[in-house]
Structure 1
Amino acid sequence: MRQFIKKILHHWKLVLGGLVALFVFAVSFGISGAYVLAHTSTEEFCVSCHEMSYNFAEYKGTIHDSNRTGVRAICTDCHVPHEPGPLVWAKIKATKDLYYTYISPSIDTPEKFEAKRAHMAQNIWREMKANDSHTCRSCHRDDKMDPNLQSERAKLRHARAKLEGKTCIECHFAIAHKEPEGPGPAELFSNAATRP
């Protein structure tokens, strides 16, 4: 062991140079990774793919696009986690979109997209149910909602949903996109609960 330490001390310039190079590489990798994550989380990036252009059109004019407060949600606010680890994992999983877009185009036309709309929506609803509508709660926090600004009906429904352990997506869906044909989240989750 002493010999090894003596060799390292003897070549301290080489070791120091290696450590500096490693540090520069790590910082560069971190900065470029952060840039890629930030760029791929912009609205412009999301709508740059052909299959999203007509899907984006139905979002325009919705409450998440324009509203009285001026607070605007973009694609990644609802579809991507905001924490670093889950964000990176979501980006890795999203690479499958490249396959379905360019290699085996299955949603590259409005007709193909419509044929798969229900399936895709139900996958998102299941994911949101499983994570307690986490991305919704990034903006809509219970502790920041003023019940006095809610209608009596909304207050009652929110209280009942809380008692029943429901999450946002079970009632609030098809807000930024057209509602697909078939069962909505309430039917989807009630059927799942009654399966053996």
Structure 2
Amino acid sequence: MKPVRRAWEVLAGFWGQVSRPARHLSLGFLTLGGFIAGIVFWGGFNTALEATNTETFCVSCHEMQDNVFEELKATIHYTNRSGVRATCPDCHVPHDWTDKMGRKMQASKEVWGKIFRTIDTREKFLDKRLELAQHEWARLKANDSLECRNCHDYDSMDLTRQASRSAFIHRNYLATGQATCIDCHKGIAHKLPDMTGVPQGLQAASSLPSPH
């Protein structure tokens, strides 16, 4: 028990020192110092946050590099005529700060999965793929495909350049809140998992009425 008691005495002594009122420093100096320290902390926090919000960081794990990132590179979200690329955070991390922080907290589970090697092989990844996809589909369904709508705006869509069924759905369902992007656009950037046993209505919005 002596080491525990000694550690407690050290912590108590340290707390006594830092909690004791300053004898020789003015309130203005302490306030300014606290303000500067807050700026340094906030700047460091945001720098670290943004460093984890890049495609380079996302694919630094071989689980992402070897699986979903390879699939993304074959889609129009990666290479297209306009040269505008959607990176991993664009689709999986909300832009608004409060929503972003919530998403980062959710993503902490991925660190746990990395540590315990949940999907460290291709076989493990494929076995878990449907479960992982359903989690992401449910998240996008719940937030009305927020990340999709950060780039895609209904009001900016030229529906005359879309197929009749797509234009009908965008005009009558998505824009009025009766459906959301992910209802139809599963598999838009990554291959679909094995959908055997998944109800048809959860695979895509094929049950929506056609324009005719």
Q: Secondary structure at the match of 2:150?
A: helix
Give distance in 1, aligned partners of 2:47 and 2:25.
32
Identity %: 40
Distance 1:186 1:39 in 2: 38
Task: Say which one has the larger Rg.
Answer: 2
Contact 1:107–1:116 (Cα < 8 Å) also in 2: yes
Give the equivalent residue in structure 1 for 2:104.
91
What is the TM-score with the length of structure 2 in the denominator? 0.78
Change (3 A) 1:148 1:188: closer
Inter-partner Cα distance in structure 1 for 2:152 and 2:170: 13
Answer whether contact 1:170 1:185 (CA < 8 A) is retained.
no
Identify if the C-alpha distance between structure 1 residues 146 and 189 changes in structure 2 by more than 3 Å, giving closer, same or farther: closer
Aligned equivalent of 2:168: 156
Runs of 4+ in 1 over 3 A off after TM superposition: none
Structure 1: runs of 5+ lacking an equivalent: 1-7, 191-196
Greater share of helix residues, 1 or 2?
A: 1
1:8-157 pair list within 5 angstroms: 13-54=25-66, 55-102=68-115, 104-157=116-169
CA–CA distance in 2 between the matches of 1:185 and 1:33? 44
Deviations 1:110-168 (A, max 9, x none): 11111000000001111111111010000001111122322323212323433670100
What CA RMSD, in Å, does the superposition of the two structures yield over aligned residues?
Answer: 2.2
Among residues 182, 186, 194, which one is paired with 2:201 in the alignment?
A: 186
Distance 1:155 1:86 in 2: 30
User: For residue 193 of structure 1, what is the aligned residue in structure 2?
Assistant: none
In structure 1, distance between residues paired with 2:169 and 2:96: 30
CA contact (8 A) 1:59 1:65 kept: yes
The number of residue pairs the alignment matches comes to: 180
Q: Kindly indicate whether residue 181 of structure 2 is the aligned counterpart of residue 168 of structure 1.
A: yes
Q: Which letter does structure 2 place at the counterpart of 1:136?
A: C
Native 8 Å contact 2:130 2:194 kept in 1: yes
Structure-1-length-normalised TM-score: 0.84
1:64 aligned counterpart, secondary structure? coil
If asked which structure has higher relative contact order (CA below 8 Å, sep 6+), I would say 1
Contact 1:171–1:185 at 8 Å: present in 2 too? no
